[in-house]
Amino acid sequence: MKIMLIPLLLIIGTVGAFGQVEYGASEVHPFGLPNPEVPNVTDFAPMIGVCPCKSVQRNPDGTWQDTVVMNWKFKYILNGTAIQDETWRMDGSSYATSIRQYHADSAQWIVSYNSYPGVSFSPGVWKGKKQGEEIVLTQPQKAPNGMEGFSRLTFYDISENGWNWKGEWIKDDQSIIWPFWTIECER
């Protein structure tokens, strides 16, 4: 019995020593903390936590769908070096998540996106940075008709009381800007 107990205690001690995450979620900080060694990780700080939001998407014919109520949660992950957000519609019809990591060498955020339903074999990846009081992310993307352009996602009016977000498809020469999604979040 003593022989079996010693390896078990060693395993528990090892997991405990390496399993501690200084900036991870805890009872005191349920959404984690920013790691001060990572530049710009606090760009999304006003959004940390859970916020109720209203989401409206555009139909292919240009009309807007009905407003959908959703929650948007932001939290620090990977020992405070990255941010994960999760959205879920209150009717349970869809869920999504993004992981945001700041790449210091290129001075930009790298953001991967996954959703359900609508699982894809490769997640969408946007890149961007804080520009003044907005956070702007882009990804090359063709329009349904094959026209070259890009997707632009913008967080704006960011404060402790909430924020707004918009998704737009933009022709490369910026002669066409097509808003396809808006979200308003208010605490």
pTM for the predicted model, two decimal places: 0.86
Residue 13, pLDDT > 50, answer no
Average pLDDT, integer, range 105-116: 94
Segment among 6-15, 84-93, 134-143 with least mean pLDDT: 6-15
- What type of residue sits at position 100? R
CA dihedral 70, 32, 99, 136 (to 10 degrees): 80
- Confirm if 133 and 156 have CB atoms less than 8 A apart: yes
- Report all structural domains of the chain as residue ranges with CATH numbers, in order of start: 2-186 (2.40.128.20)
Quick one: pLDDT at residue 37?
94
Quick one: pLDDT at residue 121?
66
Q: What is the mean pLDDT of the chain?
A: 89
